[in-house]
Amino acid sequence: MNAPAGIATPRAAPPAYLLLLSTGALLGLTTVVAGLASGLGWPPIAFLFWSALGGGLVLAVVAAVAGERLTPSPALLRYGLQAGLLSFALPNILSFAAIPHVGAGFVALCLAFPPLLTYGLALALGMDRLSVQGLAGMALGLAGALLFAVSRLTGADGGGLWTGLALAAPLSVAAGNIYRSAAWPDHASPRLLAPIMVLTATALIGAYAVASEIPLLAVPSASTAGLLPMQAAIIAATYALFFVLQKRSGPVGLSQIGWIGAITGKGLAVALLGERFPPILALAIPLILAGIVLVSRRPR
């Protein structure tokens, strides 16, 4: 699948593979910064809420400066609510809540699963073509993702509930990948949809925190406050590229950021958080990279 109907791809847009690598790397970095914040005493959902709010406001300012005009409509509101829930609020609530229990590295590894799930949904809905190359690439990527999961589950000391919640996030991500393309509002640009989705998701996260009696104003110390603008900037950069990549490559192409995010997130978790690098990952990473190459070259 290519760009949603009615939206032209900007001529100056960078190549799809650069968008893929950049967005995936930023996605992996998000989990590591969340892990750092958790280790320094930040309540996960509070950190998620404030960093998402900051990132969404940055995206809104960028859109306004570029001349985008938000005209409220039922279609945009519906898109923001559903895309925000499936693509941001629900998977991030699950992931951020699980990080203190299973580690940022494992949550990053879960990013490797949405590509296969997205491809399966796209095939079932007639949004992509069945091809030997695509299936082979997804099989290789899934094999690498399963090795990633095994590397965490062997000798895991986190609770099974939190492991299961972290693994549930990719299901929501895959559904969101499909929904955003299928329901893309007519003539809406990526620059406009990014802040709509992130800010709507922020409101959903805030509502969840209030309903669950999670304090949003609990800041551990002034010395850790610098992580908030850092994470907000990462979120803004991620979703600024995210919608451009979806427009260029469709839901299946976009979903491959999960594989890049998994590799980046785990590597940074090892380097910055002192997590272990299991030898099995030396096999998993080449499998995932081979899968990305094959899926990227599949007939569409």
Using one digit for the tens of pLDDT, what is the confidence trace for 103-161? 777 777 777 788 878 888 988 888 888 888 888 888 888 888 777 667 655 544 445 77
Distance between CA atoms of residues 73 and 121, nearest Å: 28
Q: What is the pLDDT of residue 12?
A: 55
Lowest mean pLDDT among 154-158, 217-221, 223-227, 291-295: 154-158
In this structure, which amino acid lies at residue 10?
P
Q: What is the pLDDT of residue 279?
A: 79
User: 69 or 89: which carries more pLDDT confidence?
Assistant: 89
Using one digit for the tens of pLDDT, what is the confidence trace for 264-297? 887 888 787 777 777 777 888 788 788 877 877 7
pLDDT tops 80 at residue 235 = yes
- What percent of the chain is modeled with pLDDT above 90? 34
Using one digit for the tens of pLDDT, what is the confidence trace for 38-76? 888 888 899 999 999 999 999 999 999 999 877 778 888
What's the average model confidence in pLDDT over 20-41? 89
Task: Take residue 168 and report the two structure tokens written for it.
Answer: 């549930």
Distance between CA atoms of residues 225 and 284, nearest Å: 36
Closest CA relative to residue 264, chosen from 137, 91, 109, 118: 109
What's the average model confidence in pLDDT over 154-171? 72
What's the average model confidence in pLDDT over 239-243? 94
Residue 296, H or E segment? helix 281-296
Task: Take residue 12 and report the two structure tokens written for it.
Answer: 């100056």
Q: What is the pLDDT of residue 8?
A: 44
pLDDT tops 60 at residue 11 = no
- What percent of the chain is modeled with pLDDT above 70? 90
Q: What is the pLDDT of residue 5?
A: 45
Q: What is the pLDDT of residue 220?
A: 72
Compute CA 74 distance to the chain's CA centroid, rounded to the nearest angstrom: 25
- Average pLDDT in the chain: 84
Distance between CA atoms of residues 190 and 247, nearest Å: 8
Using one digit for the tens of pLDDT, what is the confidence trace for 31-44? 889 888 888 888 88
Could you tell me the pTM of the whole model? 0.82
